[in-house]
Amino acid sequence: MTRSIERVAAVGTAPERVDGRAKVAGKAPYAYEHPVERPAYAHPIQATIAAGRVRGIDTARALAVDGVHTVLTPDNAPPLRRGQDAELEILQAPDVAFRGQIIGCVVADTPEAARHAADLVAVDYERRDHDVTLASDRPDLYRPGEVSHEADTEDGDVDAALAGAAARVEAEYRTARNHNNPLEPHTTVAVWDADGLTLYDSTQGVHSLRSAVAEVFDLDESRIRVLAPYVGGGFGSKGTAHAHVVLAALAAKRMSGRPVKLALTRQQTFTLAGYRTPTVQRVALGADTDGRIDALAVDVVEQTSRVKAFAEQTALPSRTMYAAPHRRTTHRMAALDVPVTSWMRAPGVCPGMFGPEVAMDELAERCGLDPIELRLRNEPDRDPETGKPYSTRNLAECLRGGARRFGWDARPAAPRQTRQGEWWIGTGVASSTYPVHHAPGSAARIERRADGRYHVGVGAVDIGTGAWTVLGQIAADALGVDREDVVVTVGDTALPFASVAGGSSGTTNWGSAIVAAAHGFRARFGDDDPPAGSEHTESAPENPDTERFAMHAFGAQFAEVHVSADTGEIRVPRLLGVFAAGRIVNPRLARSQFLGGMTMGLSMALHEEGVMDERLGMVVNHDLAEYHVATNADVPSVEAEWIDEHDPHVNPMGTKGIGEIGIVGTAAAVANAAYHATGVRVRELPVTADRFLTA
């Protein structure tokens, strides 16, 4: 059991964001906006073929443009250390592995000159036929080495159990290629000086970015400083270093001392910032006459780039959601001539709950059970994957409480029963889960200063989560002082090491470090009025309970869907999420996290699909006019509630992480509600109007 914070006074209150006033005025500096002297501007040159190599690059016309300083190409770029992360080892070889790959860069006095000149660079390619088509029957699918845990799992005899099941669902479900699209495009400002390299970056992890850059530039980490005090969203796409960071640093190196700004265009972010692979999920569920699941199989096919393997852990949530004596999960991947797949909000878990949670809806119908009742009957008392007890699992309470709140019982059992004018009306439900991740090593520094306040430093990053605010609340309680007496600083590698803002783990890791540092500080300097200059740094200790318990957040999502009988138009007038995610540190900010996740889930359900043109090997709808994300008018009523959950095992604060649980399950709830409205079962995202027109 971890040592908890003794008092809970600031935690649980709802102060506004401490960085809020600067943000509403637009005065909080994001990466591009840090003042640097006389910056030059870099514009990437991207491959216009999807496979092959660059035979030659003619930069003469570009170099003749007024204000252009240099054009970096594979022929002249400074060398990088190779063999670690091929995504980052740019301009070291002429090979092209995907369309949009960086093959050069113009650096100029103005962004206009750089961009114009980039267009004037003539590239001669040697083309190879590209292969960008994901299909579940490809002969070259392979088993990835590792999908965060193992790629495949098997217990019992799934096929035999399915064959003998009283009720059975076997179907293929698909999720689309999704693009993170944080509204701040990925940006790096790079400055080299005698001390080394400074990066103002839109990153989710200053320390992890520093490690990646140090590796590829073969530099000591102490010679790199990364700053990211404010970041305009990330949703995973700023969680790992991408090629443009290296490009900006290379360009700045060439400019010997002059700062270089590089902001990807929105279009470039579609190929250079990672995205979520499309998935094909073959789901099989077999149950007895009471709806108890006897067999469960999830076989996933997805893609990865040839440059760097990334295995989306799509079948993971099925390993922990429902118990069954006979279980199988597998992942198979196709390596294609496509941009690098990477993290997007709730990697694996978000797409991986779509197929199974729609399949549960289908199974409920086959068993003649209410979908909530089916889920309740299959609540495991231990984690089916590890056999460990859950630290807390309150999914049942989320389902029951949500059902009451939503008015679930009023719904007719059969689909296609309710019509109001033009609209078919239905409701749907799906479960959510997301693991509690722990990453080792985060540390915090606490210093009493002459202003009488406690200054807390941790190299965390606030990408919109509220870290600036909630870390201060945690520190106040851990120190036993008022929130006003605490000043938090984040977003700088000059501060103690912090893990990346990803996997909903920020508060767990950084908060644990702050609590440890506060306890250490008090042990050293006493409880009352330590002198100015008292300072203590400490790392979060390991939490032995992570070995003893399975730790996950849970939730239930409810959707009301209207489908036009005339046009197939689909609207979602009502979304409700009820979550069990441990202690909520700041209800005002937590609500935004939950609602934000659900809104992105709604967006995934209705709109989001990067459309691959197989002839060109590129996503053609690579901007915000054609890759639709949910707008204000798409979200009439979205509400989030949470249950008062006390989990003494997860960490000293009792928090489980709330950045991702909100997006998990939304799409399934919407698809299930659309079925209930129309009787048309959609097993493929996004759920668009055309799917209902034959109905």
Is residue 630 involved in binding other proteins (CB under 8 A)?
A: yes
- Find the part of the chain contacting other proteins (CB under 8 A) among 106-114, 130-138, 376-384, 433-441: 106-114
Cβ proximity to ligand FES: between 23 and 128 the closer is: 23
Answer whether 138's CB lies under 8 Å from 327's CB: no
Single out the residue of 184, 362, 365, 609 in contact with other proteins (rule: CB under 8 A).
184
Q: Which amino acid is at 455?
A: H
Which listed option, other proteins, ligand FES, none, makes contact with residue 574 (CB within 5 to 8 Å by class)? Answer: none
- Laid out side by side, the sheet with 153-155 consists of 153-155, 326-336, 293-305, 279-287, 167-175
**x/- site string to ligand FES, residues 147 to 176, per CB under 6 A?**
------------------------------
- Please compute, for residue 25, the number of CA atoms within 13 A of its CA located in the half-sphere on the CB side: 6
Is residue 21 involved in binding other proteins (CB under 8 A)?
A: yes
CB of 461 to other proteins, least distance (A): 11
Is residue 232 involved in binding other proteins (CB under 8 A)?
A: yes
Cβ proximity to ligand FES: between 504 and 593 the closer is: 593
Q: Given its phi and psi angles, is residue 387 left (phi above 0), alpha (psi -120 to 50 degrees) or beta?
A: left
Q: Smallest Cα–Cα separation from 403: which of 381, 424, 374, 382?
A: 374
- Please compute, for residue 384, the number of CA atoms within 13 A of its CA located in the half-sphere on the CB side: 25
Q: For residues 443-472, which are near other proteins according to CB under 8 A?
A: 463-466
| Alpha carbon distance 2, 225 (integer Å) | 33
CB of 43 to ligand FES, least distance (A): 17
Phi, psi (rounded to 5 degrees) for 232: -85, 60
Cβ proximity to other proteins: between 309 and 635 the closer is: 635
Cβ proximity to other proteins: between 302 and 608 the closer is: 608
Is residue 414 involved in binding other proteins (CB under 8 A)?
A: no
Single out the residue of 236, 426, 502, 596 in contact with other proteins (rule: CB under 8 A).
596
CB of 670 to ligand FES, least distance (A): 22
SS3 422: coil
Which listed option, other proteins, ligand FES, none, makes contact with residue 625 (CB within 5 to 8 Å by class)? Answer: other proteins
Single out the residue of 624, 689, 693, 695 in contact with other proteins (rule: CB under 8 A).
624
| Alpha carbon distance 106, 71 (integer Å) | 4
Cβ proximity to other proteins: between 186 and 656 the closer is: 186
Is residue 185 involved in binding other proteins (CB under 8 A)?
A: yes
Q: Which residue has the tokens 């659309």?
A: 674
CB of 502 to ligand FES, least distance (A): 17
Helix axis angle, 206-217 relative to 243-254, nearest 10°? 60
CB of 109 to other proteins, least distance (A): 10
DSSP 410: G
| Alpha carbon distance 339, 87 (integer Å) | 9
Is residue 600 involved in binding other proteins (CB under 8 A)?
A: yes
* 93 CB neighbour count, 10 Å cutoff: 13
CB of 464 to other proteins, least distance (A): 3
Q: For residues 213-252, which are near ligand FES according to CB under 6 A?
A: 233
Single out the residue of 597, 617, 652, 654 in contact with other proteins (rule: CB under 8 A).
597
Single out the residue of 52, 100, 104, 182 in contact with other proteins (rule: CB under 8 A).
182
Is residue 124 involved in binding other proteins (CB under 8 A)?
A: no
Is residue 588 involved in binding other proteins (CB under 8 A)?
A: yes
Single out the residue of 464, 502, 506, 659 in contact with ligand FES (rule: CB under 6 A).
464
CB of 44 to ligand FES, least distance (A): 19
Residues in the chain: 695
Size of the site for ligand FES (CB under 6 A): 3
Q: Smallest Cα–Cα separation from 492: which of 228, 141, 106, 99?
A: 228
**x/- site string to other proteins, residues 192 to 231, per CB under 8 A?**
--------------------------------------xx
| Alpha carbon distance 612, 303 (integer Å) | 13
Which listed option, other proteins, ligand FES, none, makes contact with residue 630 (CB within 5 to 8 Å by class)? Answer: other proteins
| Alpha carbon distance 179, 374 (integer Å) | 33
Is residue 83 involved in binding other proteins (CB under 8 A)?
A: no
DSSP 149: B
Distance of CA 617 to the CA centre of its chain: 25
CB of 183 to ligand FES, least distance (A): 4
β-bridge partners, 200:
189, 227
Who's near 170: CB < 8 A, 6+ residues apart?
162, 282, 283, 284, 285
Phi, psi (rounded to 5 degrees) for 514: -65, -40
Size of the site for other proteins (CB under 8 A): 63
| Alpha carbon distance 663, 355 (integer Å) | 15
DSSP 495: S
| Alpha carbon distance 421, 97 (integer Å) | 52
Is residue 183 involved in binding ligand FES (CB under 6 A)?
A: yes
CB of 91 to ligand FES, least distance (A): 29
| Alpha carbon distance 296, 315 (integer Å) | 11
Q: Return the structure tokens found at 526.
A: 């006493």
Which listed option, ligand FES, other proteins, none, makes contact with residue 265 (CB within 5 to 8 Å by class)? Answer: other proteins
Is residue 24 involved in binding ligand FES (CB under 6 A)?
A: no
CB of 667 to other proteins, least distance (A): 14
Answer whether 549's CB lies under 8 Å from 389's CB: yes
SS3 of 324-355: CCEEEEEEEEEEECCCCCCCCCCCCHHHHCHH
β-bridge partners, 45:
104
| Alpha carbon distance 524, 588 (integer Å) | 35
| Alpha carbon distance 60, 75 (integer Å) | 14
DSSP 153: E
Query: Has 660 been annotated as catalytic?
Result: yes
Cβ proximity to other proteins: between 392 and 593 the closer is: 593
Active-site annotation holder among 385, 447, 660, 684: 660
CB of 130 to other proteins, least distance (A): 27
- Find the part of the chain contacting other proteins (CB under 8 A) among 430-438, 528-536, 608-616, 635-643: 635-643
Cβ proximity to other proteins: between 163 and 183 the closer is: 183
The footprint of other proteins (CB under 8 A) covers 16-17, 19-30, 32-33, 35, 41, 110-112, 116, 181-185, 230-233, 235, 263, 265-266, 463-466, 588-589, 591-593, 595-600, 603, 623-625, 629-633, 635-636, 638-639
Q: Which residues are catalytic?
A: 660
The footprint of ligand FES (CB under 6 A) covers 183, 233, 464
